Chain A
Amino acid sequence: MSTATDTVPASGAYEPGSHPDLAPPPGTTGPIRWMKDNLFSSPLSTVLTLISVYIVYTVVTSAGSWLVLDAVISADSREACQAIDSGACWAVIVSRFNLSIYGFYPDAERWRLNLAFILLFVALGPILFDNFPARKHMMKFSMAYPVIAYFLVVGGMGLEPVSTHLFGGVMLTLVIGLTGITCSLPIGILLALGRYSKLPVMRMVCTMFIEFIRGVPLIALLFVASVMLNYFLPPGVEFDLLFRVLIMVTFFASAYMAEVIRGGLQSMPKGQFEAADAMGLTYWQAMRLIILPQALKVSIPGIVNTFIGLYKDTTLVLIIGLLDVLGIMRSSLADPKWNGLAHEVYLYTAIFFFISCFAMSRYSLYLERKLHTGHKR
């Protein structure tokens, strides 16, 4: 009150709307107030802040010196590393870097993987971002990409064929992850439609398939792929291990995808189905033009989450003997030269997965924001 009276002009009153803006009351803004609100709002909060700061400080200082300051980048073996400094021995990563990316793929053919990897981004661009230049035409390339990538990676059409048991490292992770992701989406959509269908037989078959796959762990399915699947093929026919694994991974992801999409289908109001019927659309027309575009939009976050899960689950193939990025890095621990450098090796793999999965989850958040058309608080 007293501050207000100080500024009241001699005439005693302001014209309406002519009062000058006053500074906010002291102590309601500024860094001090922010700290009071966000760090020391109560005794419990103060304790929490102190503990957290202590943890962050210890972790950052000890990790910083181990990871960077005391780390060794070039050395020939673990002993050589330890002779130089006490920190992380990144030399193991440096010496194994190419192996961790390309696996045992022949040196002379590695340009094909590089090309396939670059083309992957060209193909993904128009799918991921709708303001991509010349999106319509580029989309055709995206559709053709799986075929191109197949020939580049496996060989054929004039390129020298490469046996699948030379696959490994990041390249194998990407092959399994991307194949699973690409194939599981259409199969998942069909399964979801089947489970949501009015035909009892369809519904039963799809429900049983989905529940069976979701009820067993992926590792059990991979074991089925590795020891059991060849029994079910006609005598004389044998699929190679990678192909069997791809079948199982695709089935596994499809079942989860189907459940995510079913959630989207169930969120559709009944009026949408009835309106499509009233327009005289057939079942497939109604699904393609009315229902699925809306249902898929609703389920995009779930779909991306399933992708991330699948991508992380590709590590499981190491248990049945395929050397993905984790498997191939882990095998370097058995090398007497680098024996015992588990932390460096696992950290490297963890960072690889973190970057790819974090990017995917950020993209999902971006999509959620873009597609969000309702109100926001």
Chain B
Amino acid sequence: MIEHGPLLERLLAGEFICAVSDENAFRHLTNEETREAIDSYLRPLNRRLASNDEGSVYFLAWRQLNEAARDQLSRQLGETVNSLLPLLEWLQLVQEALGRDTLAAPGDVLKPAEFSAKCEDNQSLRERLERLATDSFFGSQSDQLDAQVKQLFKRLKEHGYLLQPHTERQVFVVTGKIDYLIEVVRFIRDEENLPIDAEREEGTQEALL
């Protein structure tokens, strides 16, 4: 267990562990024996190891749900729901601004400078960025474009959606927590029967093999 000390600390601190945020730890977590060992270690702390459906991010869940745990989860759910729209709008904005044909995915590299430059040249992107940055989730107080972009990236890093490999360099990497976010959206859509375009049958192609 000793060698997993740092990993346990990160998990206990509420972090999401994915192949981007900690490649080494993630590889250990894909091993079932390690997962079981960590699980039994966490038992007295009323926690267990959990992952998203895809298995691309690991985090800690309550082992037994008492009232206090449920209250905490309710509050957390409220925060997640409140942050949903700004986060999703950010994903769309990045995709459009950088002219990509797909949403940002784990491992993608994002540069605030590039993002600023694209928004600067385009009035509509500029306005959307402004609206997004001043949203209470991102909470920018500035009316300067660069400061707004900086705040966006700062908040996303704080929430674990982005990783900054070198503090002195303004280059960010998208983490696996994005996968988690998208699964949350999918879950809410299915659970609440929201009238959102049903996805095309995923995986039928793979099934043909």
Is A bound to B?
Answer: no
What residues of chain A have their CB less than 8 Å away from a CB belonging to chain B?
none
